[in-house]
Structure formats: C-alpha cells, structure tokens
Structure 1
Amino acid sequence: MSTNLVVEPLDRRPELSAVADKLEHLWPTFMEKDPMGSLYYTDVERNHPQHVLVAYEPPDVPVAVAYTVPFEFGSGRRTELPDDGWDAVIRWATQDRDRGTEPNLVSALEIAIRPDRRGEGLATVMLAAMRDNVRRLGFTELVAPVRPSAKHQEPHVPIGEYAHRTRPDGLPADPWLRVHARAGAEIVKVAPRSMVITGTLADWRSWTGLPFDTSGEVVVPGALVPVLASVEHDHAVYVEPNVWMRHPIDPSA
C-alpha cells in the first residue's frame, strides 16, 4: 500500500469532487440501479459533503471513496435498525433533511476501492478514516448495513446462516464482516431487504449480459442472492440482504 495516500472529506477539500468523479465502474452495473441511491448520490456534494471521503495519491490520482449518511434514530418508529437497511437510511436521511430534523446517528453507505488497488488493505484504511470522520463530526456511533464481500460465492445460503459463521478465532468468516469486527463492530441483526432493484427482463439483460429467458431464480455474478425473474410478467427483482453492524466511537480517541 502506498505511503502517499491522502484521505480527505469534501467539506474540507471540495475540489476533490473532481478526483472522485474519475472513479468509475466500481460496482456491477445492476448495483447502480437501486432507485434510493438517487436520493443520496445525486446531491451528495451539496447535502452531505462532510460525509464524503476521497482517497487519492498526490497530486490527483483517485484510489477510493467512502460515503456515510446522518439520520435521526431512537424516536417514533425508529427504535430498531430497519430491515430495509441501505434503502431505509437513505430514505430516513432525506425525510430528516426535508423536515429539518437533527440527526444523532450515522450510517455507512459505501466504501469503494479502485479494482487494481484491491487486496492492499485499503478497506481497513478507509473504514478507519470513516470512523475518524464520524468522530470529527461529533457522533458517538456508526452503524453499517454491511454487504458481505464473499456472499456472492454462495448465493443460495441464507444470510442469517452466512452472517454468523465464524473462524476458530471467533471472528466472522466473511472477509468484510471481519474487517468491521476487527475495528470494534458487532453484528446487530440481518437486514433481509437492504436493497431492492427491479427492472424489465430487457433491463436485466443489459445490466448483466445474461439471457433472462426463463422464470425462476437467476444467479447473477456479484449478486448475494438469486434474482427472481418472471417471463410472464416481463419483470425481475433482486432483494439484497445485508448485515447490520454497530461501531462505538470513542469521542476522546
């Protein structure tokens, strides 16, 4: 890993948005089609610049990005982390912003690393930077609807079974869950419908290159569970499960 790596939030360095824009195609195409994402990413530089971290090597070589979102939690119906994890926290944050509600909790949304730089330990670096940034912003806790990084290799295994697998040392078997656990996080619960992505069969063909010509389960590369397709209704639905993890943040650290 390069010792020249710099990680900065956009509220301190707004010009880094141009560096972040150079990072493209970090996720499978279908993952970019969750409609809730447009509520956050379309205006993130205006609404939440302090929650965007850009990692680069000087002068302006982009390496990774990380995003979080603030929301109010603990009152009304928001007393439990939502089953529709990623989608829900974006929706909650949007509602809070529209209503002028003060947030008291932050959720991670994404850590994305340039493909040729994966495997260098940058995920750990970006998670640490995210935790530090949450502390800088005055919050004492970070939650995350974590997308297990190796779950796509076992799409038919239930997420509840997969999430709680451990190694002999007690840490999660999944590599990304393990990174969070090593940083001090604990598993809270499963988010069984964290992201919901729908489209016509033509949409899914264009997103994946697969035929989508029969009804039933379709295993899509990169998907954590099978996509459910219906030829009769010209429709396919992907419901992605994630795993809620909670990071305590020590304000004095």
Structure 2
Amino acid sequence: MNIQISTLSERPDFSDALWDLRAQVPAFMGQDPVADLYFMDAEEVHRDYVLVAWEDSAPNRLIARGFSVPFTRDGGEPVDFLPDDGWDGIIRRAYGDRKSGRKPDAVSALEITVDRGYRGRGVSVAMVEAMRANARSRGFTDLFAPVRPNAKHEVPLMSMQEYLRVKTSEGFPADPWLRVHCRLGARMVKTAPRSMTVTGTCAEWRQWTGLPFDRTGPVVVPEALVPVHCFHEQDWAVYVEPNVWVHHMLQ
C-alpha cells in the first residue's frame, strides 16, 4: 500500500469528503460545544494544517484526515503553558490567538481519523509523521497533542495517573495510541484532567448512549474514558474527559 499525504490547501478537492469519514469516537463526544471554534474554520483558515491521505491506486478516495492548529505559547516550560483543559483549551487558545493577531510559535494536533477499512495498517503512524513534517516545514520546532488514550475506556475506573504507569516490557506506554507517539520520539508531559467537557439532560444522554440515566451517581458508558456523572434530580449529566499532553520536538 503506497499512501500519499498532503494538506487540504494542496488537495482542496477533498473538502467535501473530509466530513464523510466517521471519527473513531462515541456519539456523545460530538456534543462538545468548543469544537465549532475550530471546525467551522477548518477548511478555510486552517487548510494548511489539515492533512488528507489517499492511495496511489485510488487518488480520489480519501482514506484518512488529520486536524491540527497553530497557537502561541505563553513562555516557560510545556508543563506550565499547556492547558489543563487540553483539547478544549488549545482550541480556545488558538482561536483567541488568531482573533488578537498573535503570531503562532507551536502547533497542536487535534485529531486523526482513518477510514475503517484502513485501520490497523499503519496509516495513523504515517499521519502523525506527516503532521510532524508539516509543522517542521512551516518553521515550527514543536508539535504538541492532547492525546486521547484509545484503550483507557477498558478501565474507566482507573485514574489516568495509574493508567500511565502501566508500561510494556520496552518501557513504552501500554496504551496503543500513546505508544505510537512515544515510539516516534514524543515525550509525555502532563495529564489534561478536563480535556473535553460534555453536558446534557438525562434524555440527551439516553439518546447518545442507549443507557437509562435514571439515577444519580457515576455511570460507566461504553467508550468513555471515565464515568459520566448523572444528577438525576436535576435532569443533568456531565462527562469530563482526561487526556495526556505529549510533546514532539521537531529540531
């Protein structure tokens, strides 16, 4: 399989297909209100930071996409300037930087989605490498990412700190997606304890998950990294997802 990857600005014909790929996340994660601050501008404002991939044998079929965004650091060390609200926080910061005219000096990855038929074939690794190369080609020396550990949902009651202590015999994270980043040279910097926040009524959560949400307390939801907190008497439930900040040095 020979894969080609470029930016959306180089392949604008993929603009429509970009939204046809189904993200590898559960339905409730599509309810994060912060997302629109990025995605409403992705095709125009961020087209140099949106990656698209195709096979040589099918040049008009999109098989993967990658979203990233430039932002401005506030100085100091990554552990200090990377926001605790991870994915939400970096989208808000990048939006504010752009609106205020601040010059970006780093890039954050946001999402990589691979077509279902191509998963498990090394495409995601190629996309991370391409994201690194794209940031480097634009003069940046640092790529960050609020990584969503893709096996954490298997142990939703385990704290993220405990989860990160589980390693392979080679010393890499046991989590497959974190391991991809670390094998490419990234360093885990810190956790983002409130990387994404999704709220809704009990009826909305029933629609998103198929679960009853009929009593107050934590609810273990399939694909959620931690339990959703249900407040049945107030007809409200809240999911606060932790992620892990990683740092790819590009020099």
TM range (shorter): over 0.9
Counterpart position of 1:62: 62
Residue pair 2:64, 2:115 contacting (<8 A) in 1 also:
yes
Q: Does 1:223 align with 2:221?
A: no
Q: Offset of 1:154 from its aligned partner?
A: 0.3
Matches within 5 A, 1:130-209: 130-209=131-210
Q: Does 1:91 align with 2:89?
A: no
1:25–1:143 CA distance, 2 compared to 1 (3 A)? closer
Matches within 5 A, 1:4-15: 5-15=3-13
Cα-to-partner distance string for 1:94-152 (whole Å, 9 max, x where unaligned)? 10111011010111100111223211111111111111111111100101111101000
Q: C-alpha distance in 2, partners of 1:59/1:71? A: 32
Residue pair 1:229, 1:237 contacting (<8 A) in 2 also:
yes
Cα-to-partner distance string for 1:168-215 (whole Å, 9 max, x where unaligned)? 211111111110000000110111000001111111111111111111
Q: Offset of 1:82 from its aligned partner?
A: 1.0
Q: Offset of 1:54 from its aligned partner?
A: 0.9
Residue pair 2:14, 2:62 contacting (<8 A) in 1 also:
no
Matches within 5 A, 1:4-153: 5-24=3-22, 26-57=24-55, 58-75=58-75, 79-153=80-154
Name the aligned partner's letter for residue 115 of structure 1. R
Residue pair 1:228, 1:237 contacting (<8 A) in 2 also:
yes
Q: C-alpha distance in 2, partners of 1:9/1:138? A: 16
Q: Offset of 1:60 from its aligned partner?
A: 1.6
Q: C-alpha distance in 1, partners of 2:113/2:165? A: 24
Given the two structures, how large is their TM-score scaled by the length of structure 1? 0.94
Q: C-alpha distance in 2, partners of 1:88/1:228? A: 21
Counterpart position of 2:214: 213
Name the aligned partner's letter for residue 110 of structure 1. E
Q: Offset of 1:12 from its aligned partner?
A: 1.7
Name the aligned partner's letter for residue 215 of structure 1. T
Q: C-alpha distance in 1, partners of 2:13/2:124? A: 23
Q: Offset of 1:75 from its aligned partner?
A: 4.1
Q: C-alpha distance in 1, partners of 2:24/2:243? A: 19
Which structure 1 residue ranges, 5 or more long, are not aligned? none
- Secondary structure of 1:236's counterpart equals strand
Name the aligned partner's letter for residue 235 of structure 2. D
Q: Does 1:235 align with 2:236?
A: yes
Residue pair 1:22, 1:62 contacting (<8 A) in 2 also:
no
> What is the aligned length?
248
Range that drifts further, 7-16 or 134-143? 7-16
- Secondary structure of 2:233's counterpart equals coil
Q: C-alpha distance in 2, partners of 1:55/1:83? A: 31
